[in-house]
Structure 1
Amino acid sequence: MSRLAQTGATESPTELRPALTLLTGFAPGATREAADLLLRADPTLLVVAHDLSALLDSGTVRRTVRDGGGLLEDERLTLEHGCIACTVREDLLPAIVRLARAMPERDLVLVLPPSMEPETVAAACSWCHVDGAPVTDAVRIDSVVAVCAPATLLDTLESDQDLADRRLQAAEDDTRSVADVAARQIEYADTVLLWTPGADRDGYERARLDVLLRRLNPWAEHLLADGEDAARLAGRIRRSARFDPEAPEPHGRGLEGHPIGCHEPEPDCGVVASLYLARRPLHPDRLHRALPELAGRTLRGRGHLWIASQPDNVVAWESSGGGVSMGDMGPWLAATPDAEWEESSPERRANADLNWDEDFGDREVRLAFVGLRFDAAELAAVLDGCLLTEAELAEGRAAWREYPDPFEGCFESKERNQA
């Protein structure tokens, strides 16, 4: 789920702010090598990186800045609260702004640590101020590039570990999983780079991973680093203007009418992608019992849904590494007073109008799954079995609210009124 600008987007000829390229990924070696490639193509680049390995133990962060001539800065800082949010707010953003103001003619590359999600940095750039001015006054995000290494990609997406298992957590209470973070890095990117220098260009494994990445993020620009000229590849990565700060947040794409995935149920190099759409609500208990099977069959799932016992709430769905994360996305427009519709985006209101259902309004189940050699029809059958039956639909919304609900209390904005 990316924030991809319109195809063919170009820079404004009057744009004077330095361009900032974010390199993200769960393979630090490949990400650093990608930064080196960009630096070889343009030695004037300023490459900024943060080492967080001592963050939890001592609250210490190491920041380096280098260009084609070598190391320009190497500083160790002790933060009052050792966490990634503090690193972004107290050091990363001030450093980016300082460098952009001091050398406005030089672009920047920010190499993100594996556990730092690009969405967090991009969001901070949009609302944080440094020295009384917005970060975006000094620098603009040009693109978010997810760098993926063939040797580790599948193991990462299949991992059942939490970040804490690898000592990569952002804070002591960080419960994010390795697979979930890696998937979100890929989905948020507007450019996905499969890093395969020296590998067999026509190899089956390379082809399989290329298909997998295209299914995980079908709206990004996909590039292959396979030993081609550094300047040529760098030219395809930098100053693309692919990042769109006005695009919907990844978890809200479906609500605003944007695709959340593609439907390719026949395996391509073993990779399967499927979309599931339904208007009926899901039975809370049957859905809860189906969670292990739904998550276990696929590498990644994303989208939104509604549960019969909580019919006013849009529920976000993310699955990866065999686990499921569900969260509150606010009320459906059908459960929102008319006077409050203006608080939703024009795109969401237009999408709701186009797809309005006489019985359910804008309520729907919209999910996308990607995995290896799973049966899309069987997965859809599992979900079909979770939907309310005709007899249950006939019971009405008041009866649905009284169903035994394993998700009771999980969604903060839940309304138990009788609307």
Structure 2
Amino acid sequence: MTDNPRVPLVLISGLAPGPNADLAERLRLAEAGTAVVHHDLRQIHSGVVRRRIRLGDRDQLTVLELAHGCVSCTLREDLLPLLRKLSRMPQVRRIVVRLDEAMEPEPVSWALHNVLVGERPVIEDVDLRAVLTVVDCAGWLADSTGDDTLAERDLLASPEDERTVAQVALSQVEFADLLVLAGAATDAWSAAKASAVLDRVAPSIPRVELSSVDGKTVLDAVPADARRGEVTDMHGPLLRGQPPLHTDCGIGLLTFTSQRPFHPERLHDAIDVLLDGVVRTRGRLWVASQPDMALWIESAGGGLGVGHAGPWLAAPDGPDWAAVSPERRTLASLRWDPLFGDRAQELVVVTDQATPDEIEAALNGALLTEEELAAGEQEWLRYPDPFGEWHEEPCEDTETDPEKHDVNASNRKDETQ
């Protein structure tokens, strides 16, 4: 750590470029010495990124040509070194990074903490004060519940980007410290339904109206216990805060738990239930054919991914208890099984048109039967396993993309494509 004080940093994310720029400008004008950085990725498929820096009277636009057009390259080759450079300029008192619409703030935060620039991560130069996510009220509900891909909306963050708009929309609000609502919904029903979704996917995150945002005081609305860039612990709580348990505007919440493993092929067949009439799925899986490795599942819209979340505490190569978070130790202690340890299923599903009973029945049907359970792990290892290190739906018989492979939970946070 350097002796110089770290420069405050604010990240702005959201799918609507106009309101995002409006919020960034309010912050810039509110405090002298605020530098606003924005990377436009709309031509990244050609290896071109347009970077704009605004600081005082300076308004500089630079065209960057990258050897491989992707968000990872933009972060490593330009944004992270730029943040260090700006933090050392005496005239810079604060940095605001307005992320491209296709970027999720969590991988950026991971890079700040873990990617070395020289011999040190950039988080030693900047102090991440808040992640602000702008919610465009006119279109966010359709974005978060639809099946459009980023490619269909011309929002690719790399030529290989296969994410859905819903995946990005929900990831942006879930990682926020403050939601900034822009504009108005098209009708009262859409407004109420969007609010019901936000209540369940981001229950602890306060909301303010962009029209009333004061750039000098907006960060005062960020709660004292906000995550401020803390990367998701895949073995921690699945929801921050206390979401409503009742159904509202057709939006419900299902928590699925079991201390019995999934049969890999039946789970693969059952996954479709999480792609139709479901807003969001997040959680940990215990698959019989991979008894020592926890799997992490996320779905939104028509997109779903399953990746490694690191070994269970009970696994032979599992982490030491002292090395994991207090929350993980507490959860493991409460559910510890004499034979299987902390292995368990735990999913949170935010439903829309699908009924919780339908989802629960499909997932229960994918669990091992009593006979299969009694056969033991050596028999489980013989099951055909459609889940590799990274599995995506829709499932295609193509070679696995090596950049989607998860070696462990932390590596996944470095995926910015």
**TM-score for the superposition, normalised by structure 1:** 0.82
- Secondary structure (helix, strand or coil) at the match of 1:334 reads coil
Give the AA of the match of 1:329. A
Q: Percent identity?
A: 36
Distance 2:213 2:321 in 1: 50
Q: Which position in structure 2 is the counterpart of 1:266?
A: 246
> How many Å separate the matches in 1 of 2:213 and 2:267?
51
- Partners of 1:383 and 1:98 lie apart in 2 by 51
Change in Cα spacing, 1:225 to 1:309, as seen in structure 2 (3 Å) is same
Please point out which of 237, 242, 257 is paired with 1:277.
257
Instruction: Give the whole-Å Cα distance in 1 for the aligned partners of 2:60 and 2:345.
Output: 50
Q: Is the 8 A contact 1:50 1:62 kept in 2?
A: yes
3-state SS, counterpart of residue 25 of structure 2: helix
1:187 to 131, 156, 174: 174
Distance 1:201 1:228 in 2: 20
CA displacement at 1:31 relative to structure 2: 1.3
Q: Deviations over 1:393-416 (max 9, x none)?
A: 2333333333343336768799xx
Q: Which residue of 2 aligns with 1:6?
A: none
8 Å CA contact 1:143, 1:241 repeated in 2: no
Whether the aligned pair in 2 keeps the contact of 1:272 and 1:374 (CA below 8 Å) is no
Aligned to 2:291: 311
One-letter amino acid of the structure 2 residue matched with residue 146 of structure 1: T
- Does 2:25 correspond to 1:36? yes
Letter in 2 for 1:60: V
SS in 2 for 1:377: helix
Q: Distance in 2 between matches of 1:238 and 1:256?
A: 22
Number of the residue aligned with 1:80 = 67
d(CA) in 2 for partners of 1:385 and 1:265? 24
SS in 1 for 2:206: strand
**1:375 maps to what in 2?**
355
Q: Offset at 1:215? A: 1.0
Q: Name the amino acid aligned to 1:290.
A: A
TM-superposition CA deviations, 1:267-288 (whole Å, max 9, x none)? 2233212211111111222222
The aligned runs of 1:334-373 (5 Å cut-off) are 334-337=314-317, 341=320, 344-347=323-326, 348-373=328-353
Asked if 1:92 corresponds to 2:92, the answer is no
Q: What aligned pairs does 1:231-250 form with structure 2 within 5 A after superposition?
A: 231=215, 234-236=218-220, 242-244=226-228, 247=230, 249-250=231-232
Name the residue aligned to 1:143: 130
Which range is displaced more, 369-378 or 126-135? 126-135
- Aligned match for 2:99, one of 112, 121, 144: 112
Confirm or deny that 1:209 pairs with 2:198.
no
1:40-51, aligned counterparts within 5 Å?
Answer: 40-42=29-31, 44-51=33-40
Amino acid at match of 1:195: A
User: Could you say what secondary structure the match of 1:23 adopts?
Assistant: strand
**Would you say 1:22 and 2:18 are equivalent positions?**
no
Distance (whole Å) between structure 2 residues aligned to residue 396 and residue 269 of structure 1: 44
State whether residues 330 and 413 of structure 1, in contact with CA within 8 Å, keep that contact through their aligned partners in structure 2.
no
The answer to whether structure 1 residue 228 and structure 2 residue 212 are counterparts is yes
Cα distance, 1:263 vs structure 2? 6.2
Q: Is this contact kept in 1: 2:206–2:221, CA < 8 A?
A: no
User: Cα RMSD between the aligned structures?
Assistant: 3.2
Equivalent residues of 2:40, 2:49 under 8 A apart: yes
* Aligned position for 2:49: 61
Which amino acid is 2:127 matched to?
R
How far is 1:316 from its partner? Answer: 0.8
Structure 1 unmatched ranges of 5 or more:
1-13, 415-419
Query: Quick one: structure 1 residues 50 and 355, their matched pair in 2 at CA, closer, same or farther if it must change by over 3 Å?
Result: same
Moved more, 297-306 or 377-386: 377-386
Aligned equivalents of 2:185, 2:175: Cα separation in 1:
28
Q: How many residues align?
A: 391
CA distance in structure 1 between the partners assigned to 2:17 and 2:166 by the alignment: 15
- Distance in 1, matches of 2:228 and 2:266, equals 39
| Structure 2: distance between partners of 1:105 and 1:372 | 46
Query: Does the residue aligned with 1:310 lie in a helix, a strand or coil?
Result: coil
Residue in structure 1 matched with residue 398 of structure 2 by the alignment: none
**In structure 2, what is the Cα distance between the partners aligned to 1:151 and 1:257?**
31
Query: Aligned to 1:152, which of 131, 139, 143?
Result: 139
Please give the alpha-carbon distance, in whole angstroms, between the structure 2 residues aligned to 1:290 and 1:24.
33
Residues 322-367 of structure 1: CA distance to partner in whole angstroms, max 9, x if unpaired?
A: 23211122222222257x5268424334432332112321111100
User: Is structure 2 residue 379 aligned with structure 1 residue 399?
Assistant: yes
1:28 and 1:114 in contact (8 A); partners too: yes
